[in-house]
Amino acid sequence: MDSSLVSVALPLALAIIMFGLGLSLTTEDFTRIARNPRTVAIALGCQLLVLPAVAFGLVLVFDLSPILAVGMMLLASSPGGTTANLLSHLFRGDVALNVSLTAVNSVIAVVTVPLITNFAINYFDSDGAAGAVGLQFGKVVQVFAMVLIPVVIGMLVRRLAAAFADRMDRPARIGSALALLLVILGAAAGDLDNLTSYLLEVGAIVVVFCLISLTVGYFVPRWFGVDYRQAIACSMEIGVHNSALAIAIAISVLDSTEMAIPAGVYGALMFPLAATVGWLITRRQAEPAPVDPVSPGVPETA
């Protein structure tokens, strides 16, 4: 991949995305969790435990190469982002819950991303292909800086100039979307000759993983009694990963363009898939209940 993209454009794009996320966060988003711990715990359980297990199982079923397998696990460990908040708003989810989950996930990811990625590298490194890209301590610190520093700066800007942060909310979201597009196109352009083969190799697993993520995110909370709007928020938060973060870690930290392919394909496909699932959920919710042919209170005649 072009060195200028790796050294300048890619980290800058991720910084814009994470800074825009920080502009939308306040300390209240973290303290709100104490008032709604059950829903947050269910969502985080799906995000941190269920999805990595699902991704691991799918990798074994689809028999991916070691590098692509690690890339899938890296994607599964990445948190949600501002796109999840936008989609949740579009389908009338509890956006406040999304913001809280995004805030907590962004902090937890500093620990979980290196843990899950190192596990994947150690497990799938049967031929030494991925062994040279392990997340050593220095790279973990790099992940920490990439994730948290722009978020903290954005939160500080909001705290010191709330009106400015509100005015910048829409431009920051647009900038984040453009930055994400830049990251995905850059990752694809870096290995254009093999793009078709990568699409054939990971396209199916990415689609299956995305659909499972979205449905798990909706139905598991519903099974535990979480209300409809919060379940939509959980679905988008769990199903729409921060693929830009996974791409940036794969390329900038782990120096592997191939490892970024699953996240790049996911980033291109998650929007239509999430929109389709969101439409199906809201359509299902909006369908009227079947009418009982016997009116309430009127006895049925023989």
The answer as to whether 248 is a domain residue is yes
Residue 93 lies in domain: 3-283
Q: Mean of the pLDDT values across residues 294-298?
A: 47
Q: Is residue 137 part of a domain?
A: yes
Residue carrying the six token digits 């973290």: 30
Q: pLDDT value at position 37? A: 84
Of 244 and 277, more confident: 277
pLDDT higher than 50, residue 155: yes
Cβ contact 210:269 at 8 Å: yes
Residue 143 Cα distances to 14, 103, 184, 233, 272, angstroms: 11, 16, 19, 26, 29
Does residue 297 form part of some domain? Answer: no
Torsion, Cα 168 174 177 178, to 10 degrees, reads -110
Q: Residue 86 has which token pair? A: 């936008």
Amino acid at the residue 111:
V
**Mean pLDDT, residues 57-62 taken together:** 94
> How far apart are alpha carbons 47 and 137 in whole angstroms?
24
In a domain, 289, yes or no: no
Mean pLDDT of 167-191: 68
pLDDT tens-digit series, residues 110-151: 888 888 988 998 888 755 554 444 555 566 676 677 767 887
59 assigned to some structural domain = yes
Asked if residue 213 lies in contact with residue 28, where contact means CB atoms within 8 angstroms, the answer is: no
pLDDT digits 0-9 by tens, 68-80? 999 999 999 988 8
The pTM is what?
Answer: 0.76
Residues 6 or more apart whose Cβ sits within 8 Å of residue 97: 36, 39, 40, 43, 230, 233, 234, 237
pLDDT tens digit sequence for 1-32:
444 455 566 667 777 777 877 787 777 767 76
Tally the domains of the chain: 1
Q: Is residue 296 part of a domain?
A: no
pLDDT exceeds cutoff 90 at 218: yes
Quote the mean pLDDT of the chain.
78
- What value does the mean pLDDT take over residues 159-168? 83
Rounded-to-integer distance, Cα 138 and Cα 135, Å? 8
Least reliable range by pLDDT among 60-69, 84-93, 211-220, 227-236: 84-93
In the chain, how long is the greatest CA-to-CA distance? Answer: 82
Asked if residue 232 has pLDDT above 50, the reply is yes
**Residue 245 belongs to some domain of the structure:** yes
Least confident of 18-27, 88-97, 133-142, 199-208: 133-142
- The pLDDT, as a whole number, for residue 74 is 93
> Residue 122: which CATH number?
1.20.1530.20
